[in-house]
Amino acid sequence: MKAINLFCLTALLLLLISVSCNSPEENVVSKINADINTPGAMFMSDFHIGEVYGGVTRILPNNDTLKLGYISTVVGNDTIYYRKEINKIVHSLDSITHFSGTKIPFIVLLGDIFDMAVHNETDALNLSHLFFTKVKFESNYSETSRSFISFFDNIIYLPGNHDHHVWKMLQEEYYISQHLTEYGYALKLPQQSPAVLNLDNNEILVQDSIIFPDKRKNFISSVLSDNLLDVFVAYPNLYIEYGEVDKDNSKPGVCVTHGHFFEPGWNKSSLNFDSKIKHMDDAKYFSELEKNNSPLTEFSDFAVAQTFDTMAQGISDLQFGYSDYEPIYEKLSALYPQLFPIKMEKSHKTKDFDEITLNEYSQLADTFLVRTKSQMKSYNIDFKELIYGHTHVPCFNLNYDKGFSLKIYNTGGWVNINEVSRPNPMFLYGDGNIVSVLPLNN
In a domain, 364, yes or no: yes
Domain extent at residue 166: 8-436
In a domain, 128, yes or no: yes
In a domain, 442, yes or no: no
Output the pLDDT for position 407: 93
Q: List Cα–Cα distances, 442 to 59, 423, 437, in angstroms.
A: 26, 10, 11
Of 38, 31, 223, 217, the residue nearest 124 (C-alpha):
223
pLDDT in tens, the chain (442 residues): 443 344 344 434 433 433 333 433 333 333 333 334 899 999 999 999 998 889 999 887 666 666 678 999 999 899 999 999 999 999 999 999 999 999 999 999 999 999 998 888 999 999 999 999 999 999 999 889 999 999 999 999 999 999 999 999 999 988 899 889 989 999 999 899 999 999 999 988 876 544 455 446 688 999 999 999 989 899 999 999 999 998 889 999 999 999 999 888 888 888 877 777 777 887 788 999 999 999 989 988 898 888 766 566 666 555 555 555 566 667 666 766 666 654 444 443 333 333 333 344 567 888 899 999 999 999 999 999 999 999 888 888 888 888 889 999 999 999 878 878 899 999 999 999 999 998 765 5
Q: What residue type is assigned to position 361 of the chain?
A: Y
Helix (H, G, I), strand (E, B) or coil at 415: coil
In a domain, 132, yes or no: yes
* Rounded-to-integer distance, Cα 253 and Cα 240, Å: 5
DSSP letter string, 137-203: B--SS-S--B-GGGGEEEEEE---STTHHHHHHHHIIIIIIHHHHHHSS-----S-B-EEEETTTTE
Helix (H, G, I), strand (E, B) or coil at 43: strand
In a domain, 3, yes or no: no
Which residues are CB-contacts of 257 (< 8 A; sequence separation ≥ 6)?
Answer: 110, 158, 236, 237, 238, 372, 386, 387, 388
Q: List Cα–Cα distances, 310 to 126, 313, 315, 328, 438, in angstroms.
A: 19, 5, 9, 10, 35
Q: Rg for the chain (alpha carbons), in Å?
A: 21
Alpha helices by DSSP H, listed for 19-102, are 24-27, 65-68, 85-100
* Rounded-to-integer distance, Cα 268 and Cα 291, Å: 12
Burial degree of 367 (CB within 10 A; 0-12, 13-18, 19+):
middle
Count of domains observed in the chain: 1
Q: What residue type is assigned to position 259 of the chain?
A: G
Q: List Cα–Cα distances, 177 to 21, 58, 173, in angstroms.
A: 48, 33, 5
Q: Name the strand (E) or helix (H) holding 360.
A: helix 355-378
In a domain, 441, yes or no: no
Residue 80: CB atoms within 10 Å: 20
CB 115 within 8 A of CB 160: no
In a domain, 175, yes or no: yes
Which residues are CB-contacts of 227 (< 8 A; sequence separation ≥ 6)?
Answer: 217, 221
* Rounded-to-integer distance, Cα 166 and Cα 211, Å: 14
First-to-last CA distance in the chain?
A: 27
Of 113, 97, 1, the residue nearest 48 (C-alpha):
113
What size, in residues, is the chain? 442
Asked, as a colleague might, if the bond just before 252 is cis with ω within 30 of 0, I would say no
DSSP letter string, 272-331: HT-SGGGGS-HHHHHHHHHHHHHHHHHIIIIIGGGT-HHHHHHHHHHHTT--TTHHHHHH
* Rounded-to-integer distance, Cα 286 and Cα 290, Å: 6
Which residues are CB-contacts of 97 (< 8 A; sequence separation ≥ 6)?
Answer: 38, 103, 104, 151
Output the pLDDT for position 118: 86
Burial degree of 217 (CB within 10 A; 0-12, 13-18, 19+):
middle
Of 302, 340, 375, 384, the residue nearest 119 (C-alpha):
302
In a domain, 1, yes or no: no
* Rounded-to-integer distance, Cα 48 and Cα 128, Å: 10
CB 387 within 8 A of CB 434: yes
